[in-house]
Structure 1
Amino acid sequence: MAERKDKKKVIGEPMTDEQIQVFLNFSGEEGVSTDFHILEKAYRALRAEDFERFIVFFKEQGRDLNAQDPSGRTLLSHIEGHAKSDDYADVLRDAGGHA
């Protein structure tokens, strides 16, 4: 089916607070910090704008923004080399994240 010219395809609509907060309910994988696991899931699934909102909820729960993976890396140190991760890294830095 051809897309009508007067219909614009909408990609990545803003998420509701409730949709973003769902990420706070994930449990960690064995051997991985729950906070690191949650941060990584949110990073992989959310747009940068939504990730920034997620970080506010994450911190409000007293979670550890500098939780480490089994290799001892924080999410910020993990993503610094990723293409297109600058906005996410800035969010983490602004919130108090360390590499």
Structure 2
Amino acid sequence: MKKDKEKVLDEVWTEDHVRSFLEVRPHDASNPDFFMLLRAYQSMRAEDFELFVGFFREQGRDLNARGVDGRSVLDIVREHRLGGDYAAVLQGASAA
């Protein structure tokens, strides 16, 4: 069987595409800022994530928002083997 879509690697994201993640909302009682930031981390390259974090902060959102398990996105990123660049972005934006 042939796949419907091929996986796209290193796709160039427009500023509008990055900004669209500011509209992402959880489907449960999760903190919207935590959910939005985590989804951006899971979906973007580090360069795009850095741009997103700038937009996120412009809206006055909380970089230290916590998930239902009490961890922040920075806590989660630090656990990932390839999360160093993302952690640097968050720390550079004053996440604790």
TM-score range, shorter chain: 0.7 to 0.9
Residues 32 and 70, structure 1, Cα contact 8 Å, conserved in 2: yes
Structure 1 letter corresponding to 2:47: E
1:58-96 residue CA offsets vs partner (Å, 9 max, x unmatched): 000111010000111110011211010000000000001
Residues 36 and 75, structure 1, Cα contact 8 Å, conserved in 2: yes
Q: CA RMSD in A?
A: 1.2
Q: Counterparts in 2 of 1:1-99, with a 5 A limit?
A: 11-98=9-96
Give the structure-2-normalised TM-score. 0.87
Q: Secondary structure at the match of 2:36?
A: helix
Q: Secondary structure at the match of 2:65?
A: coil
Name the count of aligned residue pairs.
89
Gaps of 5+ in 2: 1-7
Structure 2 match to 1:3: none
Structure 1 letter corresponding to 2:61: R
Structure 1 consecutive aligned stretches of length 4 or more whose deviation exceeds 4 Å = none
Give the structure-1-normalised TM-score. 0.85
Q: Percent same amino acid at aligned positions?
A: 42
